[in-house]
Amino acid sequence: MTKPLCIGFIPLVDAAALIVAVDKGFAAAEGLDVTLVREVSWSNVRDKLNIGLFDAAHLLAPVAIASSLGLGHVRVPIVAPFNLGLNGNAITVSPALHAAIMAEIDGDRFDPMATARALARVVAKRRKNGADALTFGMTFPFSTHNYQLRFWMAAGGVDPDEDVRLVVLPPPYMVDSLANGHVDAFCVGAPWNSVAVDLGVGHILHFVSDILVCAAEKVLAVRQNWSERNADILAALIRAASRASEFIEQPQNRTEAARILAQPERIGVDADVIQRTLDGRLKISPDGTMRESSRYLLVGREGAARPDPVQAAWLYAQMARWGQASISPEALKTAKAVFRPDLYDAALGREGRVADTSDAVGAFAGPAFDANDIAGHLAAFDISRRKS
């Protein structure tokens, strides 16, 4: 007898493991009858997961933490026993902003410190000339996109709350917003950066792996009480997602995986765009300039699928840096407990590893991250909104 499950997702390439698990039959092989529901906004996914309309969800990693801490909404404890993706985001800018940054840059255009300082000079000139503040789109207040934009800008001296405007847009609406001039830039996951480039309305300025070597992005999320009542079902879902991630990471399977993901009811963009994403080979400018990175998006390789509480601690630190959360030992403990490598290891029959609190993030600026000293780490940054 199969177990029916309803799982929500946003049309992004880092939903690949869930989509492939269902459409290749890996979930059915585990005795699961999964219905995937495509959503537009992260608030929809969060709310439907929280009230039980979804059994599980493709979810922004910070949303799982915020929900467990009761930040920005009702408190619903969430657990994340499987990482659906590491990295995968990019910062895309309009042709006009790209030209302005390149005119001011001093150094390598792929160096995020060089572009952040160039952005600071662009912002200063616009202010002097009385121009409107630049507007950057991101997907949610509790999102990696928000924190990655802020981290990059602030490193170059741009205050993300004073010098520019940050606005929330659902991922599928980013490209039209850039094309229509509603935003000057955005940070979003694949494939929407590539879609903007292919349409000639944007340049990919940075892969997120330029800013953070390793960044937890999306997770397979379930309510904590659901996980406790349905331990066997959750283990089966983890195994199906793991099998799918291993399938996707085999180069000979990428064409088939991209075709599956391209279906209109899944991501709904050209399969070639998706395959370029999976291969880490992206067109970054409308003139056809290509860039390759083995770290653009990690679905399963290099242990990417195993949740790392250090990543959860880094995300909580960003919430604290930007005034969304207070710093406390209890909150840090709660945040780290959202990421559940123990459930991952048990489902796959693997021995657990000793917890490692070393810097697993690799940010391009600032001190190495210490997951046990959030306050000390944040004290090194001049621009922040830390609560006293």
Nearest to 248 by CA among 261, 235, 236, 238: 261
Q: Are 207 and 296 in contact (CB under 8 A)?
A: yes
**Residue 305 above 60 pLDDT?**
yes
C-alpha to C-alpha distance for 383 and 151, rounded to whole angstroms: 9
Residue 359 has a pLDDT of: 65
pLDDT mean across residues, the chain: 95
Look at the block and give the residue holding tokens 């399969």. 271
Higher pLDDT, 73 or 246: 246
**Tokens read off for 357:** 């609190």
Please state, as a whole number, how many other Cβ atoms lie within 10 Å of the Cβ of residue 99.
13
**Residue 317 above 90 pLDDT?**
yes
Q: Are 245 and 232 in contact (CB under 8 A)?
A: no
CA 162 to centroid of chain Cα atoms: 24
Residue 1 has a pLDDT of: 52
- The mean per-residue pLDDT over the stretch 305-323 comes to 97
Residue 311 has a pLDDT of: 96
- The mean per-residue pLDDT over the stretch 375-384 comes to 95
Residue 75 has a pLDDT of: 95
Please state, as a whole number, how many other Cβ atoms lie within 10 Å of the Cβ of residue 285.
16
pLDDT digits (tens, 9 = 90+) for 41-84: 999 999 999 999 999 999 999 999 999 999 988 999 999 999 99
Residue 357 has a pLDDT of: 47
pLDDT digits (tens, 9 = 90+) for 98-137: 999 999 999 999 999 999 999 999 999 999 999 999 999 9
Q: What is the SS3 assignment for the chain? A: CCEEEEEEECCCHHHHHHHHHHHCCHHHHCCEEEEEEECCCHHHHHHHHHCCCCCEEEEEHHHHHHHHHCCCCCCCCEEEEEEEEEECEEEEECHHHHHHHHHHCCCCCCCHHHHHHHHHHHHHHHHHCCCCCCEEEECCCCCHHHHHHHHHHHHCCCCCCCCCEEEECCHHHHHHHHHCCCCCEEEEECCHHHHHHHCCCCEEEEEHHHHECCCEEEEEEEEHHHHHHCHHHHHHHHHHHHHHHHHHCCHHHHHHHHHHHHCCCCCCCCHHHHHHHHHCEEECCCCCCEEECCCCEECCHHHCCCCCHHHHHHHHHHHHHCCCCCCCHHHHHHHHHHECHHHHHHHHCCCCCCCCCCCCCCECCCCCCCCCCHHHHHCCCCCCCCCC
Residue 350 pLDDT class (50, 70, 90 cuts): confident
pLDDT digits (tens, 9 = 90+) for 206-244: 999 999 999 999 999 999 999 999 999 999 999 999 999
Higher pLDDT, 193 or 357: 193
Residue 175 pLDDT class (50, 70, 90 cuts): very high
Q: Are 142 and 60 in contact (CB under 8 A)?
A: yes
**Residue 385 above 50 pLDDT?**
yes
Residue 275 has a pLDDT of: 96
pLDDT digits (tens, 9 = 90+) for 360-374: 899 999 999 999 999
Least confident of 95-104, 172-181, 358-367, 371-380: 358-367
pLDDT digits (tens, 9 = 90+) for 261-274: 999 999 999 999 99
How many Cα atoms within 13 Å fall on the side-chain side of residue 231? 6
**Residue 358 above 60 pLDDT?**
no
Peptide bond connecting 329 to the previous residue in cis, omega within 30 degrees of 0: no
Q: What percent of the chain has pLDDT over 90?
A: 94
**Residue 342 above 80 pLDDT?**
yes
Residue 167 pLDDT class (50, 70, 90 cuts): very high
> Which amino acid is it at 191?
P
* Domains of the chain, start order: 3-86+215-267+301-354 (3.40.190.10)
Residue 386 pLDDT class (50, 70, 90 cuts): confident
pLDDT digits (tens, 9 = 90+) for 10-44: 999 999 999 999 999 999 999 999 999 999 899 99
C-alpha to C-alpha distance for 313 and 319, rounded to whole angstroms: 10
**Please, what is the angle between helix 61-69 and helix 144-155, to 10°?**
100
Task: Compute the C-alpha angle 322/327/329, nearest 5°.
Answer: 150
> Which amino acid is it at 365?
A
Higher pLDDT, 354 or 176: 176
